[in-house]
Amino acid sequence: MATQAHDGMYIGGEWRPAAGQDTIPVVNPADEQVIAHVPAGTAADVDAAVRAARAALPGWAATPQAERAALIGAVRDGLAARKDDIAATVTAELGAPPALAEAVHAGLPIVVAGSYAELAATYSFEEKIGNSTVRSEPVGVVGAITPWNYPLHQIVAKVAPALAAGCTVVLKPAEDTPLTAQLFAEVAHEAGLPAGVFNLVTGLGPVAGQALAGHEGVDLVSFTGSTAVGRQIGATAGAAVKRVALELGGKSANVILPGADLARAVGVGVANVMSNSGQTCSAWTRMLVHTDSYDEAVSLAADAVAKYAPGERVGPLVNAKQRERVRGYITKGIEEGARVVAGGPEAPFATGYYVAPTVFADVTPEMTIAQEEIFGPVLSILRYEDEADALRIANGTVYGLAGAVWAADPETAAAFARSMDAGQVDINGGRFNPLAPFGGYKQSGVGRELGTHGLSEYLHTKSLQF
């Protein structure tokens, strides 16, 4: 293990004992062994953390931009210095293959933290509009509730902009991946963040998460996770008239238009769904192919997925419950008449929460596997007759997080993308941009993360009329 679990909470600049005695076991999903225990936080722990954040707020909000930027830069440097520790920890508690843990789970948060160190220094917190001076001020104490699928990236994507804005933070990380969060707290401490600016409470969602979402001392709740839990948190926040940012589920369409490079579009599409064992809210889990190219695309996908061996390029799912959920969806796909061209519900290994990388053909838009978020290495391939049909299928879910379009030329793809109900669309394999806003339409959430749009979530405006 790369990191030694702390048996306390990080509150007010120090590790202190939890209010209660209960702990949560942390399990390595690859071998099902318990690797650590962390405290199961209660409402009392959350209250202590919120009080510490409130006490630190005036001082942090008044800290000059350059100083805040330097401290966020120090966090970035601390993450970079401990990159190997981070990758090993993510591999141990999430099961991410080492290469993915290094490149994405450890690498991306360093880039995002660096982007906010820069923005904290350069962002203009005042503008003139006619006879008014409009000030952007920190919204206050932020309750950040993060998921397990990208444990460090999701923390940094909330904490870094909140700190850049002048907010203080209480973090409640996912119970499956708390060791990465403790590692982040160590880095924040070593970077010299003032006491109470960042606080960490580990615990279960229905206990610690709910206490944080409902706490009267929290001004904004930022949550990433399932749409079902997002609804509850939105309702709790709404009842208290507090700000909320929700990053929820997805069922993204990968639309391959006639004339596109089919082999490349299918290959990249399969890779996208298999990455992180399919545990990505923005994964392109529906591949839409014109009827004339359909059979060829199915054959290409079956060949492509064969390269993703469980235990090598594809890690386990995070826990037993997720594995059963995903296998249940695969069974349902078969029952509803979809054709398995790779994988299936049988577990590839006796030990570890692995699911066989699975590709379905003959999927119709109304099937469960084409409508609901599976969150596993499962791809559905759907056929369409013409562009209007493709657009209707692409937009025909309750979600609208991301998507992809492939065409012979970028203009054709971009024209189609403009009609998609999605917050982010990749054109002909366009790269992920950590400065561009990330977030969804419809039931994929409220608000945006990353870049200047991510920073503005943590600010509210005051107009001074002269």
Domains in the chain: ranges and CATH: 8-248+444-465 (3.40.605.10), 253-433 (3.40.309.10)
The pTM score is 0.98
Burial grade of 422 (CB within 10 A; 0-12, 13-18, 19 or more): buried
Helix axes 83-94, 107-122, angle to 10 degrees: 120
Residue 359 β-bridge partners? 342, 379
**pLDDT-based confidence at residue 1 (cuts at 50, 70, 90):** very low
Distance of CA 159 to the CA centre of its chain: 13
Distant-in-sequence, close-in-space partners of 462: CB < 8 Å, separation ≥ 6 = 134, 135, 137
Instruction: List pLDDT tens digits, range 35-77.
Output: 999 999 999 999 999 999 999 999 999 999 999 999 999 999 9
**pLDDT greater at residue 46 or residue 4:** 46
Return the CA Rg of the chain: 22
Residues whose CB falls within 8 Å of the CB of residue 95, separated by 6 or more in sequence, listed in order: 28, 29, 30, 277, 315, 316, 317, 318, 352, 353
Is 167 among the catalytic positions? no
Return the SS3 of 314. Answer: strand
The catalytically annotated residue of 93, 102, 186, 247 is 247
pLDDT tens by residue, 198-231: 999 999 999 999 999 999 999 999 999 999 999 9
* Pair 5, 182: CB distance under 8 Å: yes
Is residue 346 pLDDT above 60, yes or no?
yes
3-state secondary structure of 214: helix
The confidence band for 2, taking pLDDT boundaries of 50, 70 and 90, is: very low
Count of CB atoms situated within 10 Å of the CB of 19: 18
What is the per-residue burial (b if ≥16 Cβ within 10 Å, else e) of 307-346? Answer: ebebeebbbbbbbeebbeebbebbebbeeeebebbbbbbe
Residue type, 113: A
> pLDDT at residue 363 above 50?
yes
Question: Region 174-196: what's the mean pLDDT?
Answer: 98
138-to-98, 161, 167, 436 alpha-carbon distances in Å? 38, 10, 5, 21
pLDDT at site 286:
98
Residue type, 161: P
Rounded to 10 degrees, the C-alpha dihedral 305/308/310/316 comes to: -90
User: Reduced to 3 states, what is the DSSP secondary structure of residue 339?
Assistant: strand
Reduce the DSSP state of residue 230 to 3 states and report it.
helix
Beta strand pairing call for 358-363 and 378-384: parallel
Helices (H), 367-424: 368-371, 387-394, 410-418
* Contacts for 213 with CB less than 8 Å, ≥ 6 apart: 143, 145, 221, 223, 232, 233, 236, 237
The mean of the pLDDT values for the chain is 97
- What's residue 260's pLDDT? 98
Per-residue confidence (pLDDT) for residue 3, from 0 to 100 = 55
Total Cβ atoms within 10 A of residue 364: 14
Sequence-separated (6 or more) residues with CB below 8 Å from residue 123: 65, 164, 452, 455
Above pLDDT 70, what percent of the chain?
99
Amino acid 341: pLDDT: 98
Q: How many other C-beta atoms can be found within 10 angstroms of the C-beta atom of residue 371?
A: 15
> What are the structure tokens assigned to 322, written together?
């997720």
Which whole-number Å values give the CA distances from 221 to 138, 364, 433, in the listed order?
A: 14, 37, 25
User: Per residue in 71-115, pLDDT tens?
Assistant: 999 999 999 999 999 999 999 999 999 999 999 999 999 999 999
Backbone angles phi, psi at 311, to 5 degrees: 90, -15
Which of 170, 196, 218, 200 shows the shortest CA–CA distance to 59? 196
Neighbouring-strand partners of residue 427: 405
Reported as type and span, the H/E element at residue 88 is helix 83-94
Query: Pseudo-torsion of CA 313, 108, 177, 331, nearest 10°?
Result: -40
Q: What share of the chain is helix, strand, coil (3-state, %, to 5)?
A: 40, 25, 35
Q: Which of 167, 281, 373, 449 is catalytic?
A: 281
Provide the pLDDT confidence category of residue 373 given band limits of 50, 70 and 90.
very high
Token pair recorded at residue 114: 């660096």
For position 375, what pLDDT does the model report?
98
* Average pLDDT of span 336-360: 97
Annotation marks residue 247 as catalytic: yes
Residue 317: what pLDDT?
98
Q: What average pLDDT does range 300-316 have in this prediction?
A: 97
pLDDT of res. 148: 98
Average pLDDT over residues 10-33: 98
Mean pLDDT for 340-349 is 97
